[in-house]
């Protein structure tokens, strides 16, 4: 064994350490390997095979690397640890229980609970944590390093037939490959109008060709992620990285923009800071710098980011061709412009603010004469079942699709960062649904 490289992957509840690539001095016979050939301290080995590069694969092939896959369900697999408070910001506080024992949160964010808040004296309804304070800031994010020690427990055979005996030989990981996350670049945009700076992550399609035109999708994170750690939005969950996966990019090459907000941009008073409009300025600046099709600009976001998605579509109705709103709401009174937009809205029925908020918006949209397709989904559906659900809704041909998760169904999976709250448990599931991404990219802005 020459060296070992840790491999990480982002899941709905955050980035996890999922494999080790062990480098040998010669090509290894993959057919002679098994899961018992290697051990990784404190981890469950699920699969072992050889490869020609330090990368996971569906099937092994003879090569100088042995890939030791690890269970993402191991407690020590999770690297994402959340954001600490800073500058008076709300941190990653747990939601509070009501007098009735039920737990809820603001559709803006449970993580922004005020320490001085008291539960309601009424035991008939769940206590709702106040939303984030606009302008509050967050401290650095906690992201553990992917470290592991590998032991070759059994004999490893080279493709030439030489056997390397197992024993006590160990090697620690010295490098890390962060799948998809490493494909994003980090920049800072400074708005000419306000002088405000906005850090952001940008995925540029591989083999980018200036003679071609590409769509761009904007992802905006929730208020628990207010931090100075620019790559935090890439490792907290799937909202940004799902669009940049090799599988998605092979079908739908696109730019992916993921700002990292250093402050809470919008809260429950719906009066955003200057970074609300700065986000639009950033999008427009990128369309001038790269070959981006302004008829194929898309927006999406979770919680605070979902609120921003709705608010931006109302204030800038001609900007985005389609939007995906995940667990957020906006006042219904000014929502009429949404009736002319291509929207897919996903929310949990147990979300005490986003669900009634979206119901009110749908009523406004329908009053304006736009038909809304509605469906109730099981949050524990398989990928195949979700694909069928999306296909059934898309077949109706409506411009507004409203898919709600059955109450309680998003909590059954025990997501690490959901804190037992149906608001927070919505987006780890929603962004796994590939068919909605396909529907979003099928939309075009009509002039």
How much is the pLDDT for 174?
Answer: 96
CA angle 190, 81, 414 (to 5 degrees): 120
Pick the CATH number of 185-442 from 3.40.190.10, 3.40.50.620, 3.40.50.1820, 3.40.50.2300: 3.40.50.1820
Beta bridge partners of 45: 70
99 band by pLDDT with thresholds 50, 70 and 90: very low
How large a percentage of the chain has pLDDT more than 70? 87
Question: Which segments of the chain belong to CATH 2.60.40.2180?
Answer: 3-77+144-178
Rg (CA), the chain: 23
How much is the pLDDT for 32?
Answer: 96
**Nearest 5°: phi and psi at 65?**
-115, 140
The CA distance from 50 to 62, in Å, is: 5
Signed CA dihedral, 120, 406, 243, 383: sign only: positive
157 band by pLDDT with thresholds 50, 70 and 90: very high
Across the range 397-422, mean pLDDT stands at 83
Out of 158-172, 265-279, 333-347, 359-373, pick the least confident: 158-172
How much is the pLDDT for 101?
Answer: 24
| Model pLDDT for residues 292-322, shown as the tens digit of each residue | 999 999 999 999 999 999 999 999 999 999 9
CA angle 143, 417, 216 (to 5 degrees): 75
Output 435 or 167, whichever has higher pLDDT. Answer: 435
The CA distance from 23 to 4, in Å, is: 6
| Model pLDDT for residues 29-79, shown as the tens digit of each residue | 999 999 999 999 999 999 999 999 999 999 999 999 999 999 999 999 999
The CA distance from 263 to 232, in Å, is: 14
413 band by pLDDT with thresholds 50, 70 and 90: low
| Model pLDDT for residues 359-377, shown as the tens digit of each residue | 999 999 999 999 999 999 9
Whats the size of the chain, residue-wise?
447
Strand ranges (E), 89-226: 138-143, 149-152, 156-157, 163-164, 170-178, 184-190, 197-203, 214-220
Full DSSP string of 285-303: HHHHHTTEEEEEEEEEEET
Cα–Cα distance list, 174 to 180, 184, 374, 397 (Å): 19, 22, 50, 52
Residues contacting 395, CB < 8 A, separation 6+: none
Question: Which segments of the chain belong to CATH 3.40.50.1820?
Answer: 185-442
96 band by pLDDT with thresholds 50, 70 and 90: very low
The CA distance from 384 to 15, in Å, is: 24
- Look up the CATH architecture of domain 3-77+144-178: Sandwich (2.60)
The CA distance from 257 to 246, in Å, is: 16
């Amino acid at each position: 064994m020459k060296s070992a490289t840790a491999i990480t992957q982002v899941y709905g509840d955050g980035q996890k350490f999922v494999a080790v690539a062990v480098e040998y001095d010669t090509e290894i016979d993959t057919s002679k390997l098994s899961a018992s050939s290697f051990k990784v301290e404190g981890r469950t080995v699920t699969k072992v095979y050889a490869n020609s590069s330090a990368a996971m694969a569906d099937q092994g092939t003879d090569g100088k690397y042995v890939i030791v896959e690890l269970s993402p369900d191991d407690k020590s697999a999770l690297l994402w640890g959340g954001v600490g408070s800073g500058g008076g910001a709300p941190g990653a506080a747990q939601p509070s229980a009501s007098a009735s024992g039920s737990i809820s949160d603001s559709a803006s964010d449970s993580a922004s609970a005020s320490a001085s808040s008291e539960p309601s004296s009424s035991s008939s309804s769940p206590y709702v944590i106040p939303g984030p304070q606009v302008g509050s800031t967050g401290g650095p994010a906690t992201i553990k390093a992917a470290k592991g020690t590998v032991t070759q427990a059994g004999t490893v055979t080279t493709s030439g037939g030489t056997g390397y005996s197992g024993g006590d030989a160990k090697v620690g990981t010295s490098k890390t490959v962060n799948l998809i996350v490493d494909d994003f670049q980090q920049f800072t945009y400074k708005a000419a109008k306000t002088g405000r700076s906005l850090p952001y992550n940008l995925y540029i399609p591989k083999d980018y060709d200036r003679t071609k035109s590409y769509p761009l999708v904007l992802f905006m994170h929730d208020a628990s992620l207010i931090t100075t750690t620019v790559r935090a939005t890439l490792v907290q969950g799937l909202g940004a990285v799902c669009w940049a996966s090799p599988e998605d990019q092979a079908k739908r090459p696109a730019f992916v923009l993921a700002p990292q907000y250093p402050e809470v941009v919008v809260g429950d008073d719906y009066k955003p800071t200057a970074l609300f409009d700065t986000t639009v300025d950033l999008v427009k600046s990128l369309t001038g710098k790269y070959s981006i099709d302004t008829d194929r600009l898309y927006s999406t976001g979770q919680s605070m980011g979902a609120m921003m998605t709705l608010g931006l579509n109302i204030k800038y109705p001609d900007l985005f061709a389609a939007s995906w709103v995940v667990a957020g709401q906006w006042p219904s009174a000014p929502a009429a412009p949404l009736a002319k937009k291509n929207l897919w809205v996903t929310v949990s029925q147990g979300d005490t603010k986003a669900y009634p908020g979206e119901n009110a918006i749908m009523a406004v949209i329908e009053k304006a004469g736009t038909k809304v397709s509605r469906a109730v989904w099981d949050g524990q559906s398989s990928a195949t079942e979700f694909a069928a659900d999306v296909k059934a809704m898309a077949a109706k041909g409506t411009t507004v699709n409203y898919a709600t998760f059955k109450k309680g169904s998003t909590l059954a999976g025990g997501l690490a960062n959901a804190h037992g709250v149906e608001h927070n448990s919505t987006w780890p599931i929603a962004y796994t649904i590939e068919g909605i991404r396909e529907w979003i990219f099928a939309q075009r802005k009509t002039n």
